């Protein structure tokens, strides 16, 4: 840790917008509002849609991103479908088979939403939760309209749970940091990747409010710049001293003793503690290990996939080559994985909303 304590930082969480939110329109039907993160940091535009297909497209194109936010968006897509298309279509089959028709129509929609992005397990977790909930609601509901209404309420509960989860992660993670801490983070695991507050940056916000944060160094995070465009925007709004660096500058900072801890998020964590996060995270973990710097992963329990033994089983999304090379060059191929996997042996601790665990203890701790 750096000597002494950091200067007082006034952390203004109220300056952060709610990045995703399910709302009810004038007709009572559900609509989804999201901050289009493709336009940040220079344009802050909210979009509202009552078309579940638009939500799926927003997930695929990174208008909505970050594992917890993707999960909420996936659940919202099902609720929007139910309140706009599903209940109406099912009702057309007549009262006798209303609910059966509803689920027959819902399953292919859920499958499409679930497959929008393959790595972030929160999306699958949220869609599967909504499927189970809808069938439970059917047991006490008289019609598909009532099931749809219950699904909307479930998404609103999930949003509240996400905020509470992020706050818990922040509280647990802040206990790991001492006064005067300078943090390095990769990609954006902040409020923009959740409903509100954030996972890795939630730890920073809580620690900053306790007077522990000296500065945050944000990797730019090639190739689409989530660190450069999103993390810096978010930290500057909250009032955290921030320095943006190119991805290849982290090693030099560490060698100069300017980094006390690395904190990143995750899109999927396996039973043995391996963690998939934005491409480049693995390299940062290797650097941190070499320089004796603690490397923390912060994520809710919903990001932990105990069904997978280790990181080799995580499906890694391959993105469009144009993200790396906007104009193709004849004879040149592009490899553009969205994520890499950091082995558990490089992770100091995993911070969840249910406590802090050594990677080897994670499965038992969450079982």
Active site residues: 267
Q: Are strands 213-219 and 242-245 parallel, antiparallel or unpaired?
A: parallel
345-364 per-residue burial string, b: 16 or more CB within 10 A, e: under 16: ebbbbbbbbebbbebeebbe
Beta bridge partners of 60: none
Cβ atoms of 199 and 232 within 8 Å: the answer is no
Answer whether 153's CB lies under 8 Å from 185's CB.
Answer: no
Q: Residue 152's closest CA among 130, 136, 128?
A: 130
Helix (H, G, I), strand (E, B) or coil at 217: strand
Closest CA to 269 of 362, 181, 188, 131: 362
Q: What is the C-alpha separation between 232 and 48, in angstroms, rounded?
A: 25
Structure token pair of residue 239 = 């009032």
What's the start-to-end Cα distance of the chain, in Å? 34
346 beta partners: none
């Amino acid at each position: 840790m750096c000597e002494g304590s950091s200067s007082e930082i006034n952390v203004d969480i109220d300056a952060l917008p709610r990045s995703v939110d399910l709302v009810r329109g004038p007709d009572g039907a559900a609509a989804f509002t999201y901050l289009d993160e493709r336009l940040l940091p220079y344009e802050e535009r909210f979009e509202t849609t009552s078309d579940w297909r638009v939500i799926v497209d927003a997930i695929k194109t990174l208008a909505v991103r970050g594992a917890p936010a993707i999960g909420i968006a996936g659940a919202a897509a099902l609720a929007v479908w139910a309140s706009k298309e599903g209940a109406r279509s099912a009702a057309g089959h007549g009262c006798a088979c209303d609910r059966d028709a509803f689920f027959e129509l819902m399953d292919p929609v859920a499958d499409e939403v679930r497959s929008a992005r393959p790595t972030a397990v929160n999306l699958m977790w949220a869609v599967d939760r909504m499927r189970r909930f809808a069938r439970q609601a059917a047991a006490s509901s008289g019609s598909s309209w009532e099931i749809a209404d219950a699904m909307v309420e479930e998404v609103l509960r999930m949003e509240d749970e996400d905020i509470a989860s992020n706050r818990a992660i922040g509280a647990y993670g802040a206990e790991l940091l001492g006064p005067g801490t300078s943090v390095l983070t990769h990609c954006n695991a902040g409020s923009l990747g959740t409903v509100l507050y954030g996972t890795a940056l939630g730890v920073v916000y809580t620690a900053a409010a306790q007077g522990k944060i000296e500065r945050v160094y944000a990797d730019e995070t090639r190739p689409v710049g989530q660190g450069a465009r999103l993390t810096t925007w978010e930290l500057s709004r909250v009032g955290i001293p921030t320095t943006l660096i190119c991805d290849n500058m982290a090693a030099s900072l560490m060698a100069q003793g300017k980094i006390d801890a690395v904190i990143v998020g995750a899109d999927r964590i396996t039973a043995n503690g391996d963690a998939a996060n934005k491409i480049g995270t693995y390299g940062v973990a290797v650097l941190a290990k070499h320089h004796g710097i603690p490397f923390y992963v912060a994520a809710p329990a919903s990001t932990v996939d105990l069904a997978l033994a280790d990181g080799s089983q995580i499906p890694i999304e391959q993105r469009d080559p144009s993200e790396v090379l906007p104009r193709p060059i004849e004879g040149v191929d592009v490899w553009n994985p969205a994520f890499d996997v950091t082995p558990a042996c490089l992770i100091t601790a995993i911070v969840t909303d249910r406590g802090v665990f050594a990677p080897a203890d994670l499965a038992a701790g969450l079982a």
